[in-house]
């Protein structure tokens, strides 16, 4: 059997296990809808070949999905939260059974290396486990009333159907961040995945549907693959959907936020990142090298937490640049299904073009390419990871290019580095490498990093689910995953109970008839 035939056979086995046909419906409301929408092809970015196709939902299909989600919510909200948690626990078990196949599909469809694909599915499982614990901890507060014989407390109720809009770079994990927590909170969901990675969405929907069916649970995990006209626009504008959780570009977030705000709905926005690492003269440079390499090159620079800017104190700048150039030269680029590969392809040709354009603009603005900067002549969408020596306030360095470009700056003192670090409009993830306690605390202080995530002696990517994930400024201000992020998926109700025979008013107001 030839290598190509063996590879095709392996891919077919993955698709078969996950219930992926050559042509699939992209609309699910408890059952797969026989949609007549436009066919979208899922392309393997490693080869440029079509894996399989998905027929997108029409506007009529969306309406059917939305109506089913509303109906499912009305039942699901009556289930006790721990019982909802048990369903999510069983979802985690089902994901464990299919981890290998689903991880491989993430790699085939998105292009991240297999180890990262496995990590993404493990993140789904971990997120489900975390949500199970949350299902018994949806706490409210009790407060002392100023009125005698009154009791005052708050409680949390399910919010309603949640719209989940995900991006191609984490095609399944971000759904799990939202869906598992929303589920234990008593919400149903409408998932609009990226049309660049629809197969993973179909596969996950198949897995989740089996769990719901076995537990006689309502159809809370629903799907609508489609464009902004048939699905995206109607979903964002739908008054039946009180919360839209959207991951994507700043441009997309502005549009979504405006529409949702006009109908006085709620938005949870996870948008662009332009993440920086500050390295002081006293840093452990071995640690820096490993952290920067993964954070800048991992997922071919297509993480929202990818390190895009590196600030080196002048005492160690030349040494660090030399070590980075040598390390970049050793990065193994190729088939992401090969365990020895460290960097796979970009997602499509448009991403390659954007990267090449950004490099040319950087040169025009005074940047110097220290390593890489080119396309790799082979099938698929492969590029060289790139190092650029940058000048302060180069406009291109204030933009997020979703590709493995690392801009390197030099600085004299920490205050200068923090000011330059905070000068971009995005505010997602940040890090400092230092062995000086004062420098670390300075970076973490209110006058330090202005990002939603701030790390010391670890990189900007690979956040743990136990903490709330999200950023400030143009990153959107949303928070997902751990901590008390469950609160966005519920509505707060303040309750006051009078168990006496009088009717005193608050603030001493008297109103006697």
Asked if residue 499 lies in contact with residue 150, where contact means CB atoms within 8 angstroms, the answer is yes
Note the residue count of the chain: 513
Count the neighbouring beta carbons within 10 Å of the beta carbon of residue 106. Answer: 27
Strand, coil or helix: what is 133? helix
Residue 209 near residue 29 (C-beta atoms within 8 A): no
Two tokens at 404? 């493995």
Q: Most distant CA pair in the chain: distance in Å?
A: 94
Contacts of 502 (CB under 8 A, 6+ apart): 148, 149
Distance, in Å, from the CA atom of 344 to the CA atom of 305, rounded to the nearest integer, reads 17
Catalytic pick from 304, 384, 474, 480?
304
Coil/strand/helix, residue 5: helix
Cα 371 from Cα 378, distance rounded (Å): 19
- Would you call 285 exposed, middle or buried from its count of C-beta atoms within 10 A (0-12, 13-18, 19+)? middle
Cα–Cα distance between 171 and 256 in angstroms, integer? 19
Nearest to 331 by CA among 275, 276, 407, 382: 382
Q: What is the DSSP string of 218-251?
A: ---EEEE---IIIIIHHHHH-TT--EEEEES-HH
- 368-371 and 429-433 beta bridge pairing: unpaired
Active site residue 304: yes
Instruction: Compute the radius of gyration of the chain from its Cα atoms.
Output: 25
Return the number of other C-beta atoms located less than 10 Å from residue 121's C-beta: 25
| CB contact at 8 A, 187 and 160 | yes
How distant is the alpha carbon of residue 254 from its chain centre? 17
The 3-state DSSP class for residue 491 equals: strand
β-pairing, 472-473 vs 50-55, is unpaired
- The CA-atom distances, in angstroms, between 445 and each of 302, 395, 455, 470 are 29, 27, 12, 18
Q: Measured between alpha carbons, how far is residue 136 from residues 131, 407, 491 in Å?
A: 9, 45, 17
Half-sphere exposure for 442 (CA within 13 Å, toward CB): 17
Q: Which two tokens stand for residue 147?
A: 């009125």
Q: Which of 270, 384, 410, 480 is catalytic?
A: 270
DSSP E strand stretches across 73-122:
none
Catalytic annotation, residues: 270, 304
């Amino acid at each position: 059997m030839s290598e190509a035939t063996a590879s095709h056979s392996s891919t077919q086995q993955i698709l078969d296990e996950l219930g992926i046909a050559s042509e699939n419906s992209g609309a699910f409301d408890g059952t797969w809808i026989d949609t007549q929408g436009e066919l979208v092809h899922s392309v393997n970015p490693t080869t440029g070949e079509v894996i399989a196709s998905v027929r997108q939902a029409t506007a009529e299909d969306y309406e059917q999905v939305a109506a089913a989600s509303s109906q499912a919510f009305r039942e699901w909200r009556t289930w006790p939260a721990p019982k909802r948690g048990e369903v999510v626990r069983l979802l985690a078990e089902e994901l464990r059974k299919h981890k290998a196949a689903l991880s491989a599909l993430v790699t085939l469809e998105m292009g991240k290396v297999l180890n990262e694909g496995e990590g993404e599915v493990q993140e789904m499982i971990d997120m489900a486990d975390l949500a199970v614990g949350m299902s018994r901890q949806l706490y409210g507060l009790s407060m002392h009333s100023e009125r005698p014989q009154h009791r005052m407390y708050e409680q949390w109720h399910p919010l309603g159907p949640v719209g989940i809009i995900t991006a191609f770079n984490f095609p399944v994990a971000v759904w799990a961040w939202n869906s598992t927590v929303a589920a234990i909170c008593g919400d149903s969901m409408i998932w609009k995945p990226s049309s660049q990675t629809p197969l993973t969405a179909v596969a996950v929907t198949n897995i989740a549907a089996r769990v719901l069916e076995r537990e006689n649970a309502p159809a809370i995990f629903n799907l609508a693959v489609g464009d902004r006209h048939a699905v995206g626009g109607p979903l964002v504008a739908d008054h039946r959907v009180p919360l839209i959780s959207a991951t994507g570009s700043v441009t997309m977030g502005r549009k979504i936020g405006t529409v949702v705000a006009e109908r006085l709905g709620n938005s949870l926005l996870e948008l662009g990142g332009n993440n920086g690492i500050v390295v002081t003269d006293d840093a452990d440079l071995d640690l820096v090298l490993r952290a920067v390499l993964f954070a800048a090159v991992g997922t071919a620079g297509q993480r929202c937490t990818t390190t895009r800017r590196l600030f080196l104190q002048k005492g160690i700048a030349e040494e660090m640049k030399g070590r980075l150039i040598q390390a970049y030269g050793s990065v193994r680029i190729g088939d992401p299904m090969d365990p020895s590969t460290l960097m796979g392809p970009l997602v499509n040709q448009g991403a390659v073009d954007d990267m090449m354009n950004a490099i040319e603009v950087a040169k025009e603005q005074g940047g110097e390419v220290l390593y890489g900067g080119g396309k790799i002549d082979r099938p698929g969408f492969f590029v060289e990871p790139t190092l650029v020596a940058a000048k302060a306030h180069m406009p291109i360095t204030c933009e997020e290019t979703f590709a493995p470009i690392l801009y390197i700056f030099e600085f004299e003192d920490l205050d200068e580095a923090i000011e330059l670090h905070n000068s971009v409009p995005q505010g997602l993830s940040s890090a400092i490498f230092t062995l000086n306690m004062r420098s670390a605390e300075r970076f973490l202080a209110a006058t330090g990093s202005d990002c939603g995530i701030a790390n010391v002696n670890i990189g900007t990517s690979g956040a743990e689910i136990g903490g709330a994930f999200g950023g400030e400024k143009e990153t959107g201000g949303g928070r997902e995953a751990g901590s008390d992020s469950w609160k966005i998926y519920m509505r707060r109700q303040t309750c006051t109970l009078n168990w006496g025979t009088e009717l005193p008013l608050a603030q001493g107001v008297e109103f006697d008839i």
